[in-house]
A and B are shown apart, each in its own frame.
Chain A
Amino acid sequence: SSELTQPPSVSVSPGQTARITCSGDALPKKYAYWYQQKSGQAPVLVIYEDDKRPSGIPERFSGSSSGTVASLTISGAQVEDEADYYCYSTDSSDEQNFIFGPGTKVTVL
C-alpha cells in the first residue's frame, strides 16, 4: 500500500498562519480531505475535495492541492485550532482502499 506523508508537528503564534502539507502519489488524480481532531474528541471534517469547506467551518481554514502535495492552511490561527490534523485520500496501489496520513500536531502559542 502507499502512504500519505505529513510533518509530525507545526507551531504557530496566535493570529499567524499555519500550513500543513500532505504528500501522496494518488493526489494528482484524487481529492484530499482534512480532519481536525481535538483531544478526546472524534475527528471533524474541515476540508473536502481539496479546497471546499463544510458548513460551519471557519473561513480561516482553506485547502489547496498541486501535484503530489495537498495543503491545509489556517490563516490567523486561534488557540482553539490547536489539534491534530489528518489528511485522507486514496491508496494509489488500490483505489478501493483509503488511507489517512500520520497526522500533524498543530500547537498555537
Chain B
Amino acid sequence: QLQLLESGPGLVKPSETLSLTCSVSDDSITTINYYWGWIRQPPGKGLEWIGRIYFDGRTFYNPSLKSRLTMSVDTSKGQFSLNLSSVTAADTAVYYCARLSPDGQLVWAPHFWGQGILVTVSS
C-alpha cells in the first residue's frame, strides 16, 4: 500500500522560505502514470491546490502562488519537494502531499494523500 510522508520544519519565520519534502514509499514516482502534488489547508478553512510535478520535472503551479513557488523531484530518493518563499502568516496551514492520477478528461486528481504536516509562520 502506497504511503506518502511529509517532512520539514513546523515553524518558519515571516519572509523566509518554507521547505517541505514528501517521501514516496514505492517506486511509482518514476512512472509516467502519475503527477505528484501539494495541497494545503489553513486552520479551520478549506483545501487549496498548490501545484503538481511530473517525474521529469514538469510543473504546474496555482497562479496565485506561482511567483513564490518552486517544486522539484528527486526520483533516486523517491522524493519530491516544495519551496514557498516570502511566507507570511497567511501561509500557516497543514500541507499535504498527494499522488495524482489522470482521467479521460485530463483532470489530475489526488487519489492518495499523506497525513499532512502543520507549518506555522510566526516570529
Q: Do B111 and A54 touch across chains, with their CB atoms under 8 A apart? A: yes
User: In whole Å, how far is A73's beta carbon from the nearest beta carbon of chain B?
Assistant: 19
Q: Do A1 and B49 touch across chains, with their CB atoms under 8 A apart? A: no
Q: Do A100 and B47 touch across chains, with their CB atoms under 8 A apart? A: yes
Which residues of A lie under 8 Å from residue B115 when comparing CB positions? 42
Residue from B39, B47, B48, B60 in contact with A96 in the complex, judged by beta carbons closer than 8 Å:
B60
Which residues of A lie under 8 Å from residue B110 when comparing CB positions? 35, 43, 45, 88
Within 8 Å of chain A (Cβ to Cβ): is B90? no
Within 8 Å of chain B (Cβ to Cβ): is A30? yes
Minimum CB distance partner of B116 in chain A: A42
Minimum CB distance partner of A90 in chain B: B107
Chain B binding surface, main DSSP class: loop
Q: Which of A65-103 contact B (CB under 8 A)?
A: 86, 88-90, 94-103
What size tier do the contact residues of chain B reach?
20 to 34
Tell me the count of chain A residues lying within 8 A, CB to CB, of chain B.
Answer: 28
Which residues of A lie under 8 Å from residue B107 when comparing CB positions? 30-31, 33, 89-90, 98
Q: Do A48 and B103 touch across chains, with their CB atoms under 8 A apart? A: yes
Residue from B47, B105, B114 in contact with A30 in the complex, judged by beta carbons closer than 8 Å:
B105
Q: Do A88 and B109 touch across chains, with their CB atoms under 8 A apart? A: yes
Q: Which of B58-75 contact A (CB under 8 A)?
A: 60, 62-64
Minimum CB distance partner of B94 in chain A: A42
Residue from A33, A35, A49, A100 in contact with B48 in the complex, judged by beta carbons closer than 8 Å:
A100
Q: Do B47 and A31 touch across chains, with their CB atoms under 8 A apart? A: no
Within 8 Å of chain B (Cβ to Cβ): is A44? yes
User: In whole Å, how far is B5's beta carbon from the nearest beta carbon of chain A?
Assistant: 12
Are A94 and B63 CB-contacts (below 8 A) given A42-B96, A44-B113, A86-B47?
yes
Given contacts A43-B47, A43-B113, A86-B47, 19 further A-B pairs with CB under 8 A are: A30-B105, A30-B107, A31-B103, A31-B104, A31-B105, A33-B107, A35-B110, A42-B96, A42-B115, A42-B116, A43-B96, A45-B109, A48-B103, A95-B106, A98-B109, A100-B46, A100-B47, A100-B48, A101-B46
Q: Chain A 42-64 against B: per-residue CB contact (8 Å), 1 yes, 0 no?
A: 11110011000010000000000
